[in-house]
Amino acid sequence: MGNGMVDDLVDEVCEGYIIKHLDGSLWVVKGCYHLSDGLVAVPRLYGGVKIKRLNDAYSIIMRYYRHYVRFVRELGRYVPVVPLRDVSVVVSPLDVVRRVKELGRVGLINTAVELLDLIVYGCGCTAGFSGSLAGGYFREDSDIDIVVYSNTSKCYELLRRLRSEGVLKPMDRNLAYIEYLEVGEGGDEGLIELMMRRVLQGVFKGYRYTIRLVNCEDPGTLVSDYVVIPDETLILRVVDNSHSYTTPAIYWCELISPTTYYSSRVKLVTHRIRYSELGVGTLLRTRTPLYVLSNYNVVNLDIADLTHII
């Protein structure tokens, strides 16, 4: 039997929401596609310990929640699906705003509210807090995590303008390296350079921020029949990055190698901020499943064993 309040919210839950498990753990909702009886999510706070690396989150899932892992055809892979019956509370980033403002306007809270107001009033979007501010486990040195759910293109242009004006500052190399060490899972130090250029991540008045512009118009699902090549090493060149700043980020790429497939068109999908804002012409080498559709192929960087910017 499901939780009535949770059942009512399931249609709107997407990237940025947090769910509180009946056992007290906190999980972050991943992506835009979910099932009628459960939510795709990974643990963020377990046993009072914050889990930042995705590999660590999956280790906990496989140890304690293995029974949650299900194959979802539309996603083309096995994913953790938290049953609605095990969810006690769904936390919306939009509802968090009022609660955060009530905490008082000092330090981290004051800066987070100021940044959110800059975004909301600057582009007329719907936005709220995610991460530690939403989960209630923040410290004074925590990052500011913001999710935006409307006017994403206008919001991205606003962020670029604020960066050019010096209101938002890029991470310096030391700060980017610290971030890389905290979440890095693959040893590609080229990600540090990307992080230093990225508008969606940076520094505002001394606090690190990450802003996700969630756009579920294209949830990155597999909408037609496909064949899976389970483990392929690919070299891809980005040819269209018009949705590089959204979550999920969607790129159209040219398959440089191998050349044995019917189509050289590849739709590249990722929910990971580390692969956002890739420029046209960027070359990637990745080892990952390849989904072969009738007139193009699909690669999901979120499940790649290895990805390098070359």
CATH number of the domain where residue 66 is located: 2.30.30
CATH number at residue 208: 3.30.460
**Pair 173, 273 in one domain:** no
- Encoding tokens for residue 60? 């906990």
**Pair 192, 102 in one domain:** yes
CATH number at residue 238: 2.40.50
**Pair 113, 80 in one domain:** no
**277-301 tens-digit pLDDT:** 999 999 999 999 999 998 899 999 9
Residue 134 resides in a domain: yes
Residue 87, C-beta contacts closer than 8 angstroms, at least 6 positions apart: 3, 6, 19, 20, 21, 22, 39
| Res. 1: pLDDT tops 50 | no
What burial letters (b/e) apply to 252-283, b meaning 16+ CB within 10 Å? Answer: bbebeeeeebeeebbbbbbbbbbbbbbeeebe
Residue 222 resides in a domain: no
**Rounded mean pLDDT of the chain?**
92
Q: What share of the chain is helix, strand, coil (3-state, %, to 5)?
A: 30, 35, 35
pLDDT at residue 22, as a whole number: 97
Residue 219 resides in a domain: no
Residues 204, 165: Cα–Cα separation, whole Å: 12
Annotate 216-265 with DSSP letters as a single string. Answer: -SS-----S--EEEEEEEEEEEEEEEEETTEESEEEEEEEEE---SS--E
**Pair 202, 233 in one domain:** no
**160-216 tens-digit pLDDT:** 999 999 999 999 999 888 888 877 655 677 788 899 999 999 999 999 999 999 999
pLDDT at residue 54, as a whole number: 86
**Pair 108, 81 in one domain:** no
| Res. 10: pLDDT tops 70 | no
Average pLDDT over residues 263-285: 95
Residue 38 resides in a domain: yes
Q: Pick from 43, 75, 91: which residue ends a domain?
A: 91
pLDDT at residue 185, as a whole number: 57
**22-71 tens-digit pLDDT:** 999 999 999 999 999 999 999 999 999 999 888 899 999 999 999 999 99
- Measured in degrees and rounded to the nearest 5, phi and psi for residue 128 equal -160, -175
Average pLDDT over residues 130-136: 93
pLDDT at residue 105, as a whole number: 72
**Pair 123, 210 in one domain:** yes
Distances (CA, A) of 221 to 88, 99, 147, 151, 253: 28, 34, 21, 22, 17
Residue 34 resides in a domain: yes
**Pair 76, 118 in one domain:** no
**218-245 tens-digit pLDDT:** 988 987 889 999 989 999 999 999 999 9
pLDDT at residue 190, as a whole number: 79
Q: How many domains does the chain have?
A: 3
pLDDT at residue 6, as a whole number: 58
Count CB atoms within 10 A of the CB of residue 18.
23
| Res. 104: pLDDT tops 90 | no
pLDDT at residue 146, as a whole number: 98
pLDDT at residue 178, as a whole number: 84
At residue 121 the predicted structure's pLDDT band, cuts being 50, 70 and 90, is: very high
pLDDT at residue 2, as a whole number: 45
**Pair 258, 298 in one domain:** yes
**Pair 175, 153 in one domain:** yes
**Pair 58, 151 in one domain:** no
**Pair 206, 107 in one domain:** yes
Q: Pick from 75, 91, 107: which residue ends a domain?
A: 91
Residue 221 resides in a domain: no
Q: Pick from 189, 214, 239: which residue ends a domain?
A: 214
**Pair 9, 32 in one domain:** yes
Identify the domain containing residue 72 by its residue range: 4-91
Residue 243 resides in a domain: yes
